Chain A
Amino acid sequence: MKTTIKKMLTIMLAAFMVLSLAACGTKTSDNGSGDPQNMDEAVEMYKKLMDQENEILSQNKELWEKVFMAANKRDMTLQEDGKNYGDFLLDTIEFAKDDFTDKEYKILKEGAEKIKELEDQLAALEEKFPGVGEKANGNTSGTQSVPADSVNSQKFPAFDGKTLDGKKVDGEKLFSGNKVTVVNFWFTTCKPCVGELGYLEKLNSKLAKQGGEVIGINSYTLDGDKTTIKEAKELLAKKGVTYKNVWFKSDSEAGKFTEGIYSFPTTYVVDQNGNIVGDPIVGGITSAEQKEALSKLIDKAMKNSN
């Protein structure tokens, strides 16, 4: 009797271990059944379709990474207006056909075709229920550093600050002058934050051609501490960063927003109207999924800005 109880408990513990490992895997989703009748169902369906798209991309991460790199080399605009994302991927795969083996090519093409279908469905949803995309993106299931309003998109708090070089910067003017602004929160002694500075500099150059820019906010420099500003500037110079880094007072609206951010690096995408697009990307933008998520947000912001 005693040994069977022992056995059961150890099996249960092992099962718990396995389950908790599985829990951190990719989300699986089932196909939406039937047509959505109202906005809520539409949002649900939208999210399911997005999940499926992400699943495809994460299943062959390295291959898709190559595709994105090829897109970068081509220096294509991230997405032309009105073009289906799946078509964009198909074009890039064709262009970079020589980089892949036949088997890889097949996998990628199939994935891109599926994504094209999903995108068509997503577009149809958007037509039937305008604004569903924003709602699906704006909804977060957990607490964010700032409570997200699930109905309306959130405005990035206004700020009145200075660059690390001392030039005045007004938040509203900055955002309205760009089709898209990528706001990267970091701090000086955070290694992954410093590690992605090179990538952000390149992104800034690319966005500049499309009417956007990257700005950095170093959490240490809030309130204009001279020593931390000096250290930040030295670091930025060493990493070859030319985009603006801004500071403002910690008791301002934006300051409180920044103090509420506790995980770094965190990257927000803001559109021309000063609205935060989607969810912030938390962690260094190193994996293909995160780069993917970022470019999607950027596309969305640019769409909103037209």
Chain B
Amino acid sequence: MFQVALLILGVSMVGIGVMRGEADLVLGKAIRLCLECVGIG
């Protein structure tokens, strides 16, 4: 049933994202404050 399908979809999308390098980009942005991005300035 489609709840299982969604779970599988979610997990695989996370996997694809990590392989694409998205997780690294997230980490890079999260540990270096781009001040304008958080509304300072």
Contacts and interface: CB of A to CB of B under 8 A. Distances in A.
Interface of A: 187, 189-193, 219-220, 262-264, 282-284, 286
Given A187-B28, A220-B28, A284-B41, A262 B36 contact: no
A140 B25 CA distance: 33
Contact of A263 (B25, B28, B33): B33
Given A187-B28, A189-B29, A264-B35, 10 more contacts: A189-B25, A190-B32, A190-B34, A193-B34, A219-B32, A262-B31, A263-B35, A282-B35, A283-B35, A284-B35
A187 B28 CA distance: 9
B34 A264 contact: yes
Nearest to B35: A283
B28 A189 contact: yes
30 contacts: A187-B28, A189-B25, A189-B28, A189-B29, A189-B34, A190-B34, A190-B37, A191-B34, A191-B37, A192-B34, A192-B35, A192-B36, A192-B37, A192-B41, A219-B32, A220-B28, A262-B32, A262-B33, A263-B32, A263-B35, A264-B32, A264-B34, A264-B35, A282-B35, A283-B36, A283-B40, A283-B41, A284-B35, A284-B36, A286-B41
Contacts, number: 39
How large, as a class, is the contact surface on chain B? 10 to 19
A233 to B, nearest CB: 18
B7 to A, nearest CB: 31
A262 B30 CA distance: 10
Contacts of A191: 34, 36-37
Nearest to A185: B32
Contacts of A263: 32-33, 35
Nearest to A261: B32
Residue with the greatest number of chain B CB neighbours at <10 A, chosen from A187, A190, A192, A284: A190
Given A192-B41, A283-B41, A284-B41, A187 B32 contact: yes
B34 to A, nearest CB: 4
Nearest to A187: B32
A100 B34 CA distance: 36
A175 to B, nearest CB: 25
